[in-house]
Amino acid sequence: MDYGEYIAKAGLEIKAIKLNPKEPFQWASGFQMPIYNDNRMFLGFPKYRRLIVDGFKDIIEKEKIIYEIIAGTSTAGIPHATSLANELGTPLIYIRDKPKEHGLKNQIEGIDAEYDLRGKRVILIEDLISTGGSSVKAIQAIRNAEGNCDYCLSIFNYGLEKAINEFDVLNPKCNVFSLLTYNKLLEVAKDTSYLNERQIELLREWRNDPFKWGENHGFQRVIK
């Protein structure tokens, strides 16, 4: 089963994925981008939540990944990690982007702050990998807590060079697997006539130089 194709079609159908090179979207960084992804939209559709869990299970089985704990990134990775952990019958943790400033100052929730992960093998679940920075920080947080995190699974991956470089610096290596890749998304958008050939070309161009694409096409970054 081609999970990427099904997720691409579902994402476009429910508008979890939006593609519009003519009227780009402003990302939190202020850059104008021709794509916007919000995997939280899948939460409202049980059949698509099921599809995502089955896709993650398929990766785990095909890659013969040994695991003891499922971890989700805060916040968008948590529901999908929860569904997967329930399906597999494994413990669940989630990783904050930074430690709390009060109480026990946890960064990892689901374990006692006075203990660590004691060498347990952890699979990290992300909803989206864009520049890769937040994913790598979560992996490092798990490793700092004495967990073994050698696998990161995501629903969608833009495949940006910046993310590839972020993961490349990790030692030991963390293997990344994504249910839907950018190339597969463009393939589906073309095959379903969601976009025409010129629009597809613009989206390919964006991926090659995402942070200059807007300026090159007259869409200036918004500086806050």
Statement: residue 224 has pLDDT above 80: no
Q: Pairing state of beta strands 35-37 and 17-19?
A: antiparallel
Statement: residue 217 has pLDDT above 80: yes
Q: What are the helix and strand counts (H, E) for the chain?
A: 8, 10
Number of domains observed in the structure of the chain? 1
The one-letter amino acid at 97: D
27-31 mean pLDDT: 92
Q: Answer whether residue 222 is part of any domain.
A: no
Residue 36: is it exposed, middle or buried by C-beta count within 10 angstroms (0-12/13-18/19+)? middle
pLDDT band at 104 (very low <50, low <70, confident <90, very high): low
Q: What count of other Cβ atoms lies within 10 Å of the Cβ of residue 204?
A: 12
Q: Answer whether residue 223 is part of any domain.
A: no
Nearest to 164 by CA among 180, 155, 152, 149: 152
Q: Answer whether residue 175 is part of any domain.
A: yes
Residue 66 belongs to domain with CATH number: 3.40.50.2020
- Mean pLDDT over all residues of the chain? 95
Q: Answer whether residue 173 is part of any domain.
A: yes
Q: Look at residue 112 in the predicted model and tell me its pLDDT.
A: 87
Distance, CA of 178 to CA of 154 (rounded, Å) = 5
The boundaries of the domain holding residue 179 are 3-209
Q: Residue for token digits 């096409």?
A: 217
Q: 114 with 86: CB under 8 angstroms? A: no
Q: Answer whether residue 216 is part of any domain.
A: no
What are the pLDDT digits (tens) for 156-187?
999 999 999 999 999 999 999 999 999 999 99
**DSSP of 131-184:** SSHHHHHHHHHHHHTT-EEEEEEEEEE---HHHHHHHHT-SS--EEEEEEEHHH
Distance, CA of 174 to CA of 70 (rounded, Å) = 15
Distance, CA of 125 to CA of 202 (rounded, Å) = 30
3-state secondary structure 1-40: CCHHHHHHHHHHHHCCEEECCCCCEECCCCCEECEEECHH
Q: Look at residue 101 in the predicted model and tell me its pLDDT.
A: 62
Report the predicted TM-score, pTM, of the whole model to 2 decimal places. 0.95
Q: Answer whether residue 214 is part of any domain.
A: no
Phi, psi of 159 (to 5 degrees): 75, 30
Q: Answer whether residue 224 is part of any domain.
A: no
